């Protein structure tokens, strides 16, 4: 824990925006350096121009690869593109538009000139689904999209992710192909050309040979405009009971944390006449108004109590205070009576409420959660006679079910979730922090209780779990073995005094590899996963026997994993 965690940022904490933007174009990545290659994680490619990991060459290569990928998939409809408020997002979006336009892709970008030019992740997903509604899986007119965002990462970072026609995060089949092709281009491989395959084999190579159109469309398909904000806000009544919020007079405040939701919250207030205050100074590329996260960095994570110290003074003044990260795919819920809610607690409350207030949802549809989310959710779902879908970490695992209607809610422990419209059709197949924040206000309006009060009632019925995540040292070799374990590798029969009831290396909901290990007992569980960026393994644990037993579970988990890994 950094000594200044939760304290206001100071001048020395702020980035040099001019240097960051200059490095975007000036720094040329070294394709032989693994840290400077294109790597798609669970939320796209991320990096910083100052480290040579998010530069113009990366975006040119990734955009060209996406153009080739969508052509190979028979996607000829528009590509929706939006970006958040990180300084690197706007130039990266500009680069992507030039490359895609030159490749003949019909790009639809933001409309407007004020803060509405910043586009949240859920607004892009919503736009894709709206365009594709009623279209078949092989319809060439299908749309897809790109969101330029590193989500809640620090101000110096950039991010770039691709959403196929299903509207959610691309699966590994797509991202592996796109990353491989982009790295081939970075390394000087043959470049695509407007004149077709013949020219491609004629010596044009690398990123510098990739065609780019001018902003007015010269040399490519002109870029069109799309009202992301208007289309998203106008449709909110199909998924949230905004009338109930207004009629109950719920007094709420929304803090965009300097992110892309700033204009959206103002528009929601005005469109539905809500008692809603938009907090904060607006967009600041340095995020100088923020409080520091646990490690002393500026990070826009609305689920972090250190970050949300930024809104602490407002807690007594409103029924609810909500926060979103830079691309608004995460939510933070602060209640007057309980403070910042743990994301697991709010997910349980949201699911319990929705299953009593959405009669249009099919009785056979499942509730999705990641395997490191609280087991309290399992108990809540079972109490409603619903089937639980437990999947590996990553929102992409919910996308097929949300698209088809077989899943009506998908949520993960890191404060990301989405759910269906009143009629059971898909609203967003990517995480929607604005939606989950508005749901908190609906819960307050309809039940007369805060989400914190609702959570306390759930613990009285189902037990009060203690939950935590710790990081333990692990060598690269140990991390590799952890990711390839089988249940037979674990010979223990007890965990912290309780008989082991399940040992999992594949998710119970979809049989997908979890990239680690989960061990369960009647009263507790733990899951261990290797970190993708550090020499540590992440150990999640929960106990329904209280904090002391949780500590026992954590110790036993580390010992068990170390024995298995050797």
Q: Mind telling me the catalytic residues?
A: 151
| Sequence-distant (≥ 6) Cβ neighbours of residue 145 within 8 angstroms | 79, 80, 81, 82, 124, 125, 127, 128, 162, 163, 167
Looking up tokens 């924040």 gives 437
* Pair of tokens at residue 349: 């409350």
| Sequence-distant (≥ 6) Cβ neighbours of residue 196 within 8 angstroms | none
C-alpha dihedral (468, 323, 384, 422), degrees to nearest 10: -150
Closest CA to 350 of 438, 255, 431: 438
Q: What's the DSSP call for residue 293?
A: -
* Pair of tokens at residue 123: 């607004």
Ordered strands of the 157-163 beta sheet: 40-41, 44-48, 157-163, 144-148, 79-83, 107-110, 224-226
Residue 266's φ and ψ, nearest 5 degrees, are: -65, -40
CA 63 remoteness from chain centre: 21
What is the distance between the alpha carbons of residues 296 and 499, in angstroms, rounded to a whole number? 40
What is the distance between the alpha carbons of residues 160 and 54, in angstroms, rounded to a whole number? 9
Residue 486 burial (C-beta neighbours within 10 Å; 0-12, 13-18, 19+): exposed
DSSP strands (E only) in 292-371: 320-324, 331-335, 339-340, 366-370
Closest CA to 39 of 64, 70, 61, 71: 61
End-to-end CA gap in the chain: 29
* Pair of tokens at residue 141: 């007119």
Strands 536-543 and 466-473: antiparallel
Closest CA to 211 of 189, 195, 223: 195
- Are the CB atoms for 40 and 329 separated by under 8 Å? no
């Amino acid at each position: 824990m950094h000594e200044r965690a939760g304290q206001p940022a100071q001048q020395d904490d702020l980035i040099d925006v001019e240097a960051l933007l200059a490095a975007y174009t000036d720094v040329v990545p070294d394709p032989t350096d693994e840290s400077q290659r294109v790597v798609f994680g669970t939320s796209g490619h991320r990096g910083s121009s100052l480290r040579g990991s998010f530069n113009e060459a990366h975006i040119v290569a990734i955009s060209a690869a996406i153009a080739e990928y969508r052509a190979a998939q028979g996607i000829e409809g528009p590509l929706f593109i939006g970006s958040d408020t990180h300084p690197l997002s706007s130039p990266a979006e500009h680069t992507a538009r030039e490359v895609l336009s030159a490749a003949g892709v019909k790009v639809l970008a933001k409309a407007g000139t004020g803060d509405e030019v910043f586009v949240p992740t859920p607004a892009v997903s919503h736009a894709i689904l709206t365009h594709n509604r009623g279209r078949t899986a092989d319809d060439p007119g299908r749309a897809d999209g790109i969101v330029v965002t590193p989500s809640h990462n620090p101000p110096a970072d950039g991010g770039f992710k691709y959403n196929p026609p299903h509207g959610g995060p691309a699966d590994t089949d797509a991202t592996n192909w796109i990353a491989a092709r982009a790295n081939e281009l970075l390394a000087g491989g043959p470049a695509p050309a407007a004149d077709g395959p013949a020219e491609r084999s004629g010596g044009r190579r690398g990123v510098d040979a990739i065609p780019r159109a001018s902003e007015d469309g010269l040399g490519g398909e002109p870029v069109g405009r799309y009202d992301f904000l208007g289309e998203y806000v106008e449709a909110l009544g199909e998924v949230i009971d905004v009338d109930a919020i207004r009629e109950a007079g719920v007094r709420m405040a929304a803090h965009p944390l300097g992110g892309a939701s700033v204009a959206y919250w103002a528009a929601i207030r005005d469109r539905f006449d809500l008692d809603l205050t938009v907090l904060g100074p607006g967009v600041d590329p340095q995020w100088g108004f923020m409080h520091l996260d646990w490690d002393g960095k500026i990070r826009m994570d609305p689920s972090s109590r250190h970050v949300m110290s930024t809104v602490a003074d407002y807690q007594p003044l409103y029924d609810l205070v909500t926060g979103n990260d830079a691309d608004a795919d995460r939510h933070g819920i602060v209640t007057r009576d309980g403070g910042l809610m743990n994301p697991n607690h709010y997910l349980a409350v949201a699911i319990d409420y929705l299953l009593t207030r959405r009669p249009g949802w099919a009785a056979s549809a499942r509730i999705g959660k990641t395997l490191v989310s609280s087991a309290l959710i399992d108990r809540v779902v079972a109490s409603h006679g619903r089937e639980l879908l437990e999947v590996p970490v990553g929102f992409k695992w919910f996308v097929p079910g949300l698209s088809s209607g077989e899943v009506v809610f998908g949520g993960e422990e890191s404060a990301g979730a989405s759910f269906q419209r009143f009629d059971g059709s898909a609203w967003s197949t990517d995480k929607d922090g604005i939606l989950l924040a508005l749901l908190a206000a609906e819960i307050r309006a309809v039940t007369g209780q805060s989400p914190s009060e609702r959570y306390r009632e759930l613990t009285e019925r189902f037990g009060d779990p203690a939950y935590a995540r710790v990081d333990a040292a692990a060598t690269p070799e140990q991390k590799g073995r952890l990711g390839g374990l089988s249940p037979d590798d674990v010979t223990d029969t007890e965990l912290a005094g309780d008989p082991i009831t399940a040992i999992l290396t594949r998710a119970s909901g979809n049989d997908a590899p979890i990239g680690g290990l989960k061990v369960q007992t009647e009263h507790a569980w733990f899951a261990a996963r290797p970190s993708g960026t550090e020499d540590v393994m992440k150990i999640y644990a929960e106990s329904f026997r209280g904090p002391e037993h949780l500590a026992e579970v954590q110790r036993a988990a580390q010992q068990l994993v170390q024995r298995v890994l050797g």
